[in-house]
Amino acid sequence: MPLLRNRRATLPVVAALLLPLAACSSSGGSGGDGDAQRLRVVMAFPPAQAMSPYGDDAVTLSRLAVVEGLTTLDSNGAAQPALATSWKQADPTTWTFTLRDAVFQDGAKVDADAVVRSLTAAGKASPLPRVLSDTSLVATATAPDTVRIVTEDADPLLPQRLANPSLTILSAGAYENGKVNPAGHATGPFTLTDVKGAVAATLERNADYWGDKAESPGVDVTFVADGTARANALRTRAVDVAEYVPISQASLLGDAYVHEFPSARTNGLSLNTRHGVFADPSMRAAAREAIDSKALVDGVYEGRADTAQGLLGPGVPWAAGQRTAPSGRAKAAGRDEVAGTVEVVLATYSNRPELPEVATLVQQQLEKRGFTVRQVVRDYAQLEADALAGKYDAFIQARNTLLDTADPLSYLASDFTCDGSFNISQLCDERVDAAVGKAAAQTGTGARHRAEMTAEAAVLGSDALVPLVHERFVQGYDGARVEGVALDPMERTLITADTRLG
């Protein structure tokens, strides 16, 4: 019965979904290929910052092939040329990047001044992009096609860092009246031409793209937080590609539509270490002891996830062999102590349909331990600011640990250090800061990985975050009709120049 209720409830949503798609499709595509070849895509996360490149909207722009940086990442997370054709390191803090011959979507030339402008603006943004939470950089034009970048400290991950969507390169026209508007001012194979608030967006093929031109003349995008509605839109062919198909819908769609692959995403329970009940380490330890990861995997994910092993799951394959035991954990408070605490507020977001179900099971597990729990579930855009401000006692989120630099160092710095820009747990622990700092100082990959696992042990020892499960991704599209969809564990790409209707 719950499934039937959910499916009935989303029928109006699917009907509403058809309207913006029909309106977008009627506008015609560039390149003369005709409307039939345009892609229709439904995304899970509506724009939260008016498509600013300095927040999570940057990932949406990257997944839609609108924006580019100096570098990109290959499947192993190694830096590859993008707007920069090559780079070299002069000393531990100084790098030189040579630019390719390319133009922005508004016709302006990609040159060193544009790169300096974009990187400088990102460094001054508020809040600071997560990828810059553990470093700062100064860019200088040394020739029309050459940029020198100096980092505050040695940064062996700089080439990977510059592939982050928040460090996208935009033309001068993007920067007006103190705001940043990537529409028509980026360099990707698709140009963002229209954004209808948090409802829809239109992309057209960038005819001046420096690389292989997009196969599709355009993309009509809708944003729908309801996962069942996204799946139903795919089932009824209202869309061609549905981002993040809910686990509950995967078996209903069938193998032809479901494309499952491992991820670097860990779903965790962030506990507020500064205010409220969980400012007490013994209460955080009690919450950690209450969590049953296997029950979440079996009860919510239908086996399409992995039980929590640490901050870094199977999507980071080297982590398991170097994991060390958590250090410095407090003794858990007894049941009577827990029962004497005030109500705790547990928040999560509806954009990922499994998370409200996870929150319900987590609430039950915490209540079994003696806590009194109240849930808050909203769209992510309505929760993020309050979560970052520490207004919830506990927050369940799905976090890609490789999203920032393809190395977990940036994740550890942004989420768990005193100055971290995405520190939902409000953690400020000198042991954690020291461990993350030591990892950042390592120039060799092996040594850095070992140091990162020491930092993981320190974070887990603080119980600032209780790992819940390690996700697997499920993207939806008809494999017989749609080609070239990127299945990217790092979540940087989805629609590419190669994506097309077959």
Strands 258-271 and 465-477: what pairing? antiparallel
Residues belonging to the chain: 502
What distance in Å separates the CA atoms of residue 97 and residue 249, rounded to the nearest whole number? 46
Q: DSSP per residue over 369-392, as a string? A: TT--EEEEEE-HHHHHHHHHTT-S
Q: How large a percentage of the chain has pLDDT more than 70?
A: 93
H or E, element range at 469: strand 465-477
φ, ψ of residue 43 in degrees (nearest 5) = -105, 155
C-alpha of 187 from chain center: 21
SS3 category, 84: strand
**Those residues with Cβ within 8 angstroms of residue 218's Cβ, 6 or more apart along the chain or in another chain:** 29, 30, 38, 39, 190, 202, 203, 204, 205
Whether 271 shows a pLDDT value over 60: the answer reads yes
- pLDDT confidence tier of residue 57, bands split at 50, 70 and 90: very high
Q: What confidence score (pLDDT) does residue 406 get?
A: 86
Number of Cβ within 10 Å of residue 176's Cβ equals 10
- pLDDT confidence tier of residue 135, bands split at 50, 70 and 90: confident
What distance in Å separates the CA atoms of residue 471 and residue 319, rounded to the nearest whole number? 16
Q: Which amino acid belongs to residue 494?
A: L
- pLDDT confidence tier of residue 49, bands split at 50, 70 and 90: confident
CB-based contact 187:68 (threshold 8 Å): yes
For residue 154 the two structure tokens come to: 């040695």
Fill in the DSSP letter of residue 174: G
Strands 84-91 and 241-242: what pairing? unpaired
C-alpha of 331 from chain center: 34
The mean predicted confidence, pLDDT, of the chain is 91
Domains and CATH numbers, the chain: 2-66+188-257+478-501 (3.40.190.10), 71-176 (3.90.76.10), 264-470 (3.10.105.10)
What is the largest distance, in Å, between two alpha-carbon atoms of the chain?
71
Note the pLDDT tens digit of each residue in 361-390: 999 999 999 999 999 999 999 999 999 999
Whether 391 shows a pLDDT value over 50: the answer reads yes
SS3 category, 57: helix
Mean pLDDT of the 2-21 span: 45
Q: How far is CA 193 from CA 60, 204, 218, 462, in A?
A: 15, 7, 10, 46
For residue 275 the two structure tokens come to: 């205010």
Q: What confidence score (pLDDT) does residue 351 get?
A: 87
Q: How far is CA 221 from CA 56, 180, 456, 475, in A?
A: 17, 21, 38, 15
Q: What confidence score (pLDDT) does residue 21 get?
A: 56
**Those residues with Cβ within 8 angstroms of residue 32's Cβ, 6 or more apart along the chain or in another chain:** 217
Window from 115-124, 183-192, 437-446 with minimum mean pLDDT: 437-446
SS3 category, 394: strand
Window from 33-37, 95-99, 120-124, 182-186 with minimum mean pLDDT: 33-37
Strands 241-242 and 39-43: what pairing? parallel
- pLDDT confidence tier of residue 17, bands split at 50, 70 and 90: low
What distance in Å separates the CA atoms of residue 218 and residue 28, rounded to the nearest whole number? 9
Q: Which of 280, 393, 286, 288 is nearest to 347 (CA)?
A: 393
Q: Which amino acid belongs to residue 199?
A: V
Is the pLDDT higher at 401 or at 35? 401
* End-to-end Cα separation, the chain, in angstroms: 37
For residue 110 the two structure tokens come to: 């990609």
- pLDDT confidence tier of residue 233, bands split at 50, 70 and 90: very high
Note the pLDDT tens digit of each residue in 67-76: 999 999 987 7
What distance in Å separates the CA atoms of residue 329 and residue 285, rounded to the nearest whole number? 7
H or E, element range at 250: helix 247-253
Q: What confidence score (pLDDT) does residue 281 get?
A: 98
Q: What confidence score (pLDDT) does residue 10 get?
A: 42
Alpha-carbon dihedral sign for residues 108, 113, 115, 120: negative
Mean pLDDT of the 476-489 span: 94
- pLDDT confidence tier of residue 18, bands split at 50, 70 and 90: low
DSSP lists the bridge partners of residue 277 as none
Alpha-carbon dihedral sign for residues 45, 58, 266, 290: negative
**Those residues with Cβ within 8 angstroms of residue 445's Cβ, 6 or more apart along the chain or in another chain:** none
Cβ burial of 89 (10 Å; 0-12, 13-18, 19+) is: middle
Fill in the DSSP letter of residue 207: T
Whether 180 shows a pLDDT value over 70: the answer reads yes
- pLDDT confidence tier of residue 133, bands split at 50, 70 and 90: confident
